[in-house]
Chains A and B, each alone.
Chain A
Amino acid sequence: MIRFSQVSKRYPNGHDALSDISFLLPKGSFTFLTGHSGAGKSTLLKLITLTELASRGQVLVGEKNLSKLSGNKIAAHRRTIGSVFQDHKLLEDRTVEDNVALPLVVSGVEHKETHRRVRAALDKVGLLNKAKRYPITLSGGEQQRVGIARAVVGRPQILLADEPTGNLDPTLADEIMQLFLNFNQIDITVLIATHDYRQLNRFNCGVISLSNGRLVNQSDITHVAEGGHV
């Protein structure tokens, strides 16, 4: 569960990226976060991962009030979230499997178990045969799938994606979206930032729309797993 209560974010330069945002995402929900470029989508996701702190209001994730976390508690909080970035953020000097293993390595998961879970995650995104390759030798869509495998390998309760299909052609974008839907079916709360309106119409799910940092529309949030999709 993610709850925003009257959240505002002002950057140090005085820019108000978010103003008075309130919403509730139930556990296991699948939601799109939309809005023009600069609307505040990335900022909203950063508040959830505690990359940025809210200037006003409260962000609750599960039972945790994020403004109360500090030090290793922040790190522990991030381990319950899987993040996917538009530019993948993969390490070029490490193999695909080493990239995917990173969240488990920082959690101190034992070596054999790490190996097993990395293979399972790569299998889910269909890249088991490319485990030993370096990211640079993969296509854009494949690199994004590696990013997704890394986001889910730690079995997070929440999956956040910041324009994960931004650089992909429509067919690849649909494949990636289908992956997120699959993960939603195992009761992960999914929040995807996108300005690809095509996706919104294709998938029957909740939508949060931002414009200039304000909430303009919040449609019904439903469980895609229950409501059917595509």
Chain B
Amino acid sequence: MFEALKVWLVRHLQVLFETLGRLWQTPVASLMTTLVIAIAIALPLVLYQIVLSVDRLSAGWQGAPQISVFLKIETSEGAVDPLEAGQTLLQNPKVEDVQYISPEEGLSTFSEMSGFQSAIEALPENPLPPLLVVFPATGNDNTASSELADQLSELPFVDTAVYDQQWLHRLTAMVNVVKRAVIVLALLMGAGILLVISNTVRLGITNRAGEIEIIDQVGGTKSFIRRPFLYIGAIQCLFGALLAWLITSLTLFLLVKPVAKLAELYQSSFVIGYVGFAVAGAVALSVTVLGILAARVTVDRYLVRLRPS
């Protein structure tokens, strides 16, 4: 029993090294195949990583939805007292909290952030209206928050009420579209990998038709004949996945700096992460399994011909 296991293991190692040797004998063809597979993996992987980063960022924002309520300076009933207006808003059960930002505060924050200090100082008067920041009690429910904003803008002392997260809404919808695109792309690339492996294996079979015939004649089993081709599929896909990981890391590395710069301009903490070992490992494993399956189907279609008729 132990002896049989040893023979089996030695045989597998033999085939592994034979296959590596064979791939090494045609370096250009092997490298091309591996590169094609690598690119097919890297493309969806890079996109996936970007989408993942955007997703993580917008999830972070969604924690604090707020409505900006801009007040009128005065109504037909006289001047508006912002603090009194805040108290009125707090009586609405849908309002969790209200924060007052005076025109002066608003202007100083704005001039700090925008870098237009001198221009702002040159203004004859403060153009900003008083602002009440409303935190809705409805939490992350976007529809409810939008409705609340509409409701608040109907109040007599309110100029406009803007639900700040409308754009986040759009971003999320867009991210969902891209997510779907990543899945479709991954499927297409998977099909591409299947075809590439199938083609490589078919070429290998053609080159070794004589050998296959002799092995069949001297009593080699189907799995014996199949084995080297399965190794071709497995090895090329595994190397392709490793190379894809390199390509992905390099691409993301090239993106990290410009994206950080862009994010800085928008006061955002957006950063692109690298592909983790777990994801890379899972991708490598599934692509390798895919390669083995593709090779197997291809060889089996050929082996039917060896059956006596």
Contact = CB atoms under 8 A, between A and B. Distances in A.
Interface of A: 12, 49-53, 71-72, 74-81, 83, 89, 91, 102-103, 105-111, 150, 154
Counting from the closest, the 3 A-B pairs by CB-CB distance are: A79-B219, A78-B219, A106-B220
Contacts of B214: 89, 91, 102
A89 B212 CA distance: 11
Contacts of A49: 217
Nearest to B308: A53
B259 interface: no
B217 A83 contact: yes
Given A110-B3, A110-B7, A89 B215 contact: no
A108 B5 CA distance: 10
Interface residues of B, number: 22
Contacts of A110: 3, 6-7
6 contacts: A49-B217, A89-B210, A89-B217, A106-B224, A108-B4, A150-B218
B261 interface: no
Given A89-B214, A108-B7, A108-B8, A52 B308 contact: yes
B169 interface: no
B164 interface: no
A109 B6 CA distance: 11
B10 A91 contact: no
B211 A91 contact: yes
Residue among B10, B215, B308 with most chain A CB within 10 A:
B308
Given A52-B308, A102-B214, 5 more contacts: A50-B308, A53-B309, A75-B219, A75-B224, A108-B4
Contacts of A91: 210-211, 214
Interface in B292-309: 308-309
B218 A106 contact: yes
Interface string B189-228: 0000000000000000000001101111111111010000
B306 to A, nearest CB: 9
A41 B216 CA distance: 21
A111 B308 contact: no
Contacts of B221: 72, 75, 106
Nearest to B14: A105
Residue among B211, B215, B218, B224 with most chain A CB within 10 A:
B218
A215 B299 CA distance: 39
A109 B4 CA distance: 9
